[in-house]
Chains A and B, each alone.
Chain A
């Protein structure tokens, strides 16, 4: 009898001394209610992940209705500029983390964008897509919540209303089409670029300390650079694309995204 009691007692001692390691803080993302020993792995959210976008026209700050000159020597002025970004992913010591709310509608007149929550960590790089990820691109814009940049309840949202989906970016304005290039803008240009093949993944190496409640990342967009290599002349075909009617021009413009978007130092 004494032998059985000893075995039971030993078993109980063994069981209670086997305390599980893990995150014991209920406010952490990876809180483990069964853990008793804090092993230092708790992951927390940074409350506000802020994206700062510095809009440029070459070296100058972006301004609507202001004359600027393209790399081809044409004087233009912008009247509208917007771009979707999606799939924001941050790579840190704890691995990659993709934001739950990954869509942002970028406009030059708005500099700050709250992207939501990010686990506290030391991140070394981040990436996103200029355009809309393929899955979201083919969803009905009426089915997104009103707060989403993709919702058709949003007055600025950009969707063709066709199966090709969202317009990834819009550039509209006026251009000098005179043969002498006299600098007087006189004709509209309209570039609406989209479709799955024209989304561009961009990645940046950057040390981002997300150990505090607030994190900020900053990028530049040179909206003028998006027009590099295009020949905005008197020919309508060279100063207008809705992508599907002029795929070569859309492809040419998309190739500029890599250099037009950069890390803000």
Chain B
């Protein structure tokens, strides 16, 4: 029964991949037609991924992505020129920072653990609480936040006023002088190229390379997709998240109300966006508050079934996994690491 569910999943995602290829090709052609000067960007998206939706006013071009990458790695965006986007989103850690809670200017602690940016362009909401629904707005927030860059766009524009190379990049990318519009759009454009879909799991599952996973990883995969264990109910492939908000029973009283901060609904108290599990091996510590240091600890938590918060997801129930099964599950999670992704020079500056 477990194996049957797995096979059905596999067939489904093969079909999905075929249909999205045409959409992506059309999107690339469309973006190329809109600007004769700009170089259209040949977006490389795995065939089994969903379509990447891109705002009409920010179609991808090479110039926009180049500018966005420079800005993403630009510490001048912070008050004391010490913090860039890449400070909290390091490629070697799958665009996280390895800290329990991220640090901003002067070492001031933020609110939560830095989420990975892998495949962030596919996410309909951003932040752990889903408080933003587009990258163009989200990209401005860290610049102003007292807990992150603690600066202003006006201040940054003053700093680059004499930098002719920046002016030229903005003009080529957006046909306008440096400003908030160009900054926010360019960073968002670059972030939409942060795509990870070439893990050993992908090679096994979508590309039928049956030699890339160990026996333990295959057993762990069966446990993961088991309808009894329900891991994949929330962490649905190919992105390994359903982008919903769930309370996983970490605490009986949450210090951080999570999604309720946005909706003001008590029924959302303690709910956070289901994170992707792609590259999860590289993104410790775990949970919205970085309270778990290892995948073993995370698996133990779900095996025990949570503390029983009133809003706890019904999918979080005691699982009775054996020690071997827990090891297999952790092994499978490690197969979601994409080595080419974290060494992709296109994402480095």
User: Is B1 interfacial (CB-CB < 8 Å)?
Assistant: no
Q: Considering the complex, give the chain A residue whose CB is closest to the CB of B185.
A: A142
* Residues of B close to A244: CB separation below 8 A: 261-262, 264
A76 to chain B, nearest CB (A): 19
Q: Considering the complex, give the chain A residue whose CB is closest to the CB of B127.
A: A162
* Residues of B close to A245: CB separation below 8 A: 257, 261
* Residues of A close to B180: CB separation below 8 A: 141-142, 151-153
User: Is B154 interfacial (CB-CB < 8 Å)?
Assistant: yes
B133's partner among A143, A146, A163, A247 (CB-CB below 8 A) is A163
Q: Considering the complex, give the chain A residue whose CB is closest to the CB of B158.
A: A155
User: Is B124 interfacial (CB-CB < 8 Å)?
Assistant: no
User: Is A220 interfacial (CB-CB < 8 Å)?
Assistant: no
Per the bound structure, the CA–CA distance linking A143 and B182 in Å amounts to 10
Contact A140 B131 (CB under 8 A): no
- In B133-173, the 8 Å CB interface with A consists of 133-134, 136-138, 140-142, 144-145, 152-155, 157
* Residues of A close to B142: CB separation below 8 A: 161
A162's partner among B132, B152, B181 (CB-CB below 8 A) is B132
A80 to chain B, nearest CB (A): 11
Per the bound structure, the CA–CA distance linking A161 and B152 in Å amounts to 12
Per the bound structure, the CA–CA distance linking A30 and B275 in Å amounts to 58
Per the bound structure, the CA–CA distance linking A141 and B132 in Å amounts to 13
User: Is A64 interfacial (CB-CB < 8 Å)?
Assistant: no
* Residues of B close to A151: CB separation below 8 A: 180
Given the known interface contacts A146-B179, A153-B180, the answer about A161 and B154 at a Cβ–Cβ threshold of 8 Å is no
* Residues of B close to A143: CB separation below 8 A: 181
Binary contact readout A123-163 vs B (1 if CB under 8 angstroms, 0 otherwise): 00000000000000000111100100001111100011111
Q: Considering the complex, give the chain B residue whose CB is closest to the CB of A160.
A: B141
* Residues of A close to B183: CB separation below 8 A: 142
User: Is B184 interfacial (CB-CB < 8 Å)?
Assistant: yes
B136 to chain A, nearest CB (A): 6
A95 to chain B, nearest CB (A): 36
B41 to chain A, nearest CB (A): 21
Q: Considering the complex, give the chain B residue whose CB is closest to the CB of A190.
A: B146
Contact A153 B137 (CB under 8 A): no
A161's partner among B132, B133, B157, B262 (CB-CB below 8 A) is B132
User: Is A164 interfacial (CB-CB < 8 Å)?
Assistant: yes
For the residues of A in contact with B, the DSSP-based class is: loop
Per the bound structure, the CA–CA distance linking A89 and B262 in Å amounts to 31
Given the known interface contacts A140-B137, A163-B131, A245-B257, the answer about A155 and B262 at a Cβ–Cβ threshold of 8 Å is no
Per the bound structure, the CA–CA distance linking A154 and B157 in Å amounts to 11
Per the bound structure, the CA–CA distance linking A247 and B179 in Å amounts to 34
A164's partner among B179, B185, B262 (CB-CB below 8 A) is B262
Per the bound structure, the CA–CA distance linking A164 and B261 in Å amounts to 10
Q: Considering the complex, give the chain B residue whose CB is closest to the CB of A192.
A: B146
Contact B140 A153 (CB under 8 A): no
Q: Considering the complex, give the chain A residue whose CB is closest to the CB of B130.
A: A163
* Residues of B close to A161: CB separation below 8 A: 132, 137-138, 140-142, 144-145
Contact A140 B152 (CB under 8 A): no
B125 to chain A, nearest CB (A): 9
B157's partner among A153, A160, A164 (CB-CB below 8 A) is A153
Contact A153 B154 (CB under 8 A): yes
Per the bound structure, the CA–CA distance linking A79 and B241 in Å amounts to 44
Per the bound structure, the CA–CA distance linking A163 and B154 in Å amounts to 22
Per the bound structure, the CA–CA distance linking A70 and B152 in Å amounts to 32
* Residues of A close to B140: CB separation below 8 A: 141-142, 152, 159, 161
Q: Considering the complex, give the chain B residue whose CB is closest to the CB of A155.
A: B154
Binary contact readout B253-269 vs A (1 if CB under 8 angstroms, 0 otherwise): 00001000110100000
A226 to chain B, nearest CB (A): 20
Contact B262 A162 (CB under 8 A): yes
Per the bound structure, the CA–CA distance linking A161 and B148 in Å amounts to 12
Between-chain CB contacts (< 8 Å), 18 pairs: A140-B184, A142-B140, A142-B183, A142-B184, A142-B185, A146-B179, A151-B180, A152-B140, A152-B153, A152-B180, A155-B155, A160-B131, A161-B137, A162-B131, A163-B131, A164-B131, A164-B262, A247-B264
Top 10 nearest A-B pairs (CB, nearest first) are A161-B141, A155-B154, A162-B131, A142-B180, A244-B261, A152-B180, A155-B152, A142-B184, A142-B181, A153-B180
For the A-B complex with A161-B140, A162-B137, A163-B137 known, give 12 more contacts whose Cβ atoms are closer than 8 Å: A140-B136, A142-B137, A146-B179, A152-B140, A153-B179, A155-B153, A161-B138, A163-B132, A163-B133, A244-B261, A245-B257, A247-B264
